[in-house]
Chain A
């Protein structure tokens, strides 16, 4: 009799606990930002995990200067390069390192392309950007390391483990999208590429402010070393680039330091700003925000520039013969073209 009672109590307790946990989980799913409407940058990182075949030969890591400036579809169509951009808003260099570590959990690329603009930041400047990069990552040692490296003073690890603690006060900003995308994700990129088809010619840039000290911080260097040794240890070629963004201004003194570093370790470093004529960038038609980032036309040109380098100098294979892969890409290209048509209609472009 007593035993029976105890079993019943135990079952009730267990069921109750499950119910409470389920409710908290639902509340959490509802309350965390979905990044589907205005702010899509927070939705990029998690998209990678949805890829059926993650055997990419080229991985881009970095901030908006990678995810807005290269079209992986062009790299596939013209060169048969299977690539993915693991970029996110203001991805700091330590976050890029952990993004690389996270990517290596799934497959080992031949080449990693890293955009070095984030060398200028030694630590996180914004809690919100931390969340947009980190929340999308799947749980692993890489994510934990990324959190620890990124946290600002006002943040707590527990708020990453239970995001509801961070986002609970979003209850008064909930929209129908929060219900719609509670359990699914709306794709916002094409293999990590954030596409824009509209154009806004580059005008006058803000005056260049001289800096007191041009040397990059120790922590930034430390993580560049980590990225480099990680690539070395995994037999991956590391290619350093600076995207052709006119602003924020890229100081020649910074460029020098990167060149020195590249020379010291025998790495290739391409400053796309120096190559803009060779690439054929027209800042009147190839940017959508006045020279900060490329639009589709610019991103295609940049891809067409880096494609041959990847194929010839790094021997990245042409995989268009791979039927399974080709069919995956065929689907991607279809979505890509639909997006182009949709955006052209949105922006009223011929």
Chain B
């Protein structure tokens, strides 16, 4: 169910009231039931998919945990009698059961994700190869893709891995574990939470704390403001521009990139604001997923601030295992010997980065353009890593490198880079994207854009003005938060009541009036044609 639908808002309101009138110990149960209802209302068949994932991972983790603990206990008991090698051998032998269940859980759940999300992509690829470019040779099955499957599968796999690694204890209760996976605010678009972060706050008994509830409401409001006033407004222009690339080229391309990048930001971070805000009103804290990403000074910095839960998932469950694997270590040793010491240090890093970015690309969507997008990120990151000694020398040499204008320059440069990279999200055919980027450099074509061309893409002057004002508000808030490294809500909270009241009320009214939602008013519809 969409965050912006009346149904969702109404349901959450009812949940909220129920949540605080029932006894504390029943609250997790209410959350679970509510989450399943909300998810099932989108399509009841989704419940089968998520049900399989929840039950299998929960069960596998339980077996793994039990087995690991049994092994540990045995070794502890018989420490005196066993030699180090004996211990290792015993561990390896008995650890096989854990490994088996771990792999079974991985294969099954990543397998479901792969089949549901990527079979069409793979089959059409095979179709292309067989028929050298024409469609329709293979009948591509129309697969039901459960909402949020990428998110909940990753969250499940992360949990299973943490249990296998003995970093956390398995959750014994199935309903409690099910709530961890299905918790409704984060089910569809993340963040991908860690069990150790979310479970303690999710399952703890919460009492109604008005200051926390209000803090959550403020966060929700801010999210709706970003989503309704900015994202959904810009979306009208983005849809038009992306819809016809034969018409919207040249001078339109910078506009397209800018609008899309801003829309994506407002939509995604606004959605996460609503997610975290809803959780907060229920007394649950979810880890931040964004730290003012568009104020990053480099692409590497950006990826530490954008979609953090996904990035750290890839880091912990793909990057580290690959880069510290035996093969990687051997590669590193070989490079140290045959190339250079620094190559030995870097090669495993770059190799694993490559794999991570390939996976990140394909995780975003089952098509080539996302892979290209991922690898371009990899390329830029690798190049800037290689050039970093050069940068450092440059920064040392010139005093302005640490100055405020230079920082602004770096932020703008990074933003521009992100704009260009994001364009690869928009079109399935990479050639289209490249063609558009090339066309943007044909400055001669700019003059052929008629006057007022940007008012014909579904955005009026007032739309631009509102979006600009709203984005300026977001920018100011971001700068303040960056400066004081704290939430704007905590800064506002220290102000007098009247100031707080006016600020939040204005934000509410602005969202209510200037948000893009509902049928939309067009007075010509109301002219009665008198028939």
CA distance A175 to B393 in the complex (A): 62
CA distance A205 to B514 in the complex (A): 45
* Min distance, Cβ A170 to any Cβ of chain B, angstroms: 5
1/0 contact string of A151-176 vs chain B (CB within 8 Å): 00011101100001111111111000
Verify A90–B528 contact, CB threshold 8 A: yes
- Contact partner of B526 (CB less than 8 A), chosen from A31, A128, A171, is A128
* Min distance, Cβ A271 to any Cβ of chain B, angstroms: 19
Verify A169–B505 contact, CB threshold 8 A: no
Verify A127–B508 contact, CB threshold 8 A: no
CA distance A158 to B527 in the complex (A): 24
Q: A20-B505, A127-B525 are in contact. Are A289 and B513 (CB under 8 A)?
A: no
CA distance A154 to B501 in the complex (A): 34
- Contact partner of A167 (CB less than 8 A), chosen from B460, B497, B521, B527, is B521
Verify B526–A42 contact, CB threshold 8 A: yes
A173: nearest residue on chain B (CB-CB)? B523
CA distance A56 to B340 in the complex (A): 102
* Min distance, Cβ B423 to any Cβ of chain A, angstroms: 30
CA distance A23 to B518 in the complex (A): 21
Verify A39–B526 contact, CB threshold 8 A: yes
Interface size class of B (residues with CB under 8 A): 20 to 34
Verify A292–B530 contact, CB threshold 8 A: yes
1/0 contact string of B237-255 vs chain A (CB within 8 Å): 0000000000000000000
Q: Which residues of A have CB within 8 Å of B517?
A: 165, 168
* Min distance, Cβ A48 to any Cβ of chain B, angstroms: 19
1/0 contact string of B173-188 vs chain A (CB within 8 Å): 0000000000000000
- Contact partner of B525 (CB less than 8 A), chosen from A126, A158, A165, is A126
A201 adjacent to chain B (CB < 8 Å):
no
Verify A132–B526 contact, CB threshold 8 A: yes
Q: Which residues of B have CB within 8 Å of A165?
A: 517-518
A40: nearest residue on chain B (CB-CB)? B528
Total interface residues on A, CB under 8 Å, equals 42
- Contact partner of B520 (CB less than 8 A), chosen from A126, A155, A169, is A169
Verify A39–B528 contact, CB threshold 8 A: yes
Verify B528–A154 contact, CB threshold 8 A: no
Q: A12-B497, A24-B509 are in contact. Are A41 and B515 (CB under 8 A)?
A: no
Q: A23-B509, A164-B512 are in contact. Are A170 and B521 (CB under 8 A)?
A: yes
1/0 contact string of B494-520 vs chain A (CB within 8 Å): 000100010001001100111111111
Q: Which residues of B have CB within 8 Å of A155?
A: 519
* Min distance, Cβ A154 to any Cβ of chain B, angstroms: 6
- Contact partner of B521 (CB less than 8 A), chosen from A156, A169, A292, is A169
A170: nearest residue on chain B (CB-CB)? B521
B531 adjacent to chain A (CB < 8 Å):
yes
Q: Which residues of A have CB within 8 Å of B10?
A: 158
B6 adjacent to chain A (CB < 8 Å):
yes
Verify B530–A168 contact, CB threshold 8 A: no
Q: A20-B505, A166-B519 are in contact. Are A33 and B526 (CB under 8 A)?
A: yes
B506: nearest residue on chain A (CB-CB)? A23
Verify B513–A27 contact, CB threshold 8 A: yes
A–B pairs, 26, beta carbons within 8 Å: A16-B501, A23-B505, A23-B509, A24-B509, A24-B512, A27-B512, A33-B526, A38-B527, A39-B528, A89-B528, A90-B531, A127-B519, A132-B528, A154-B519, A159-B518, A164-B512, A164-B513, A165-B517, A168-B512, A168-B513, A168-B517, A168-B518, A169-B518, A171-B513, A248-B531, A293-B530
Given A39-B528, A126-B525, A169-B521, 5 new contacts (CB under 8 A): A127-B525, A164-B513, A170-B521, A171-B513, A292-B530
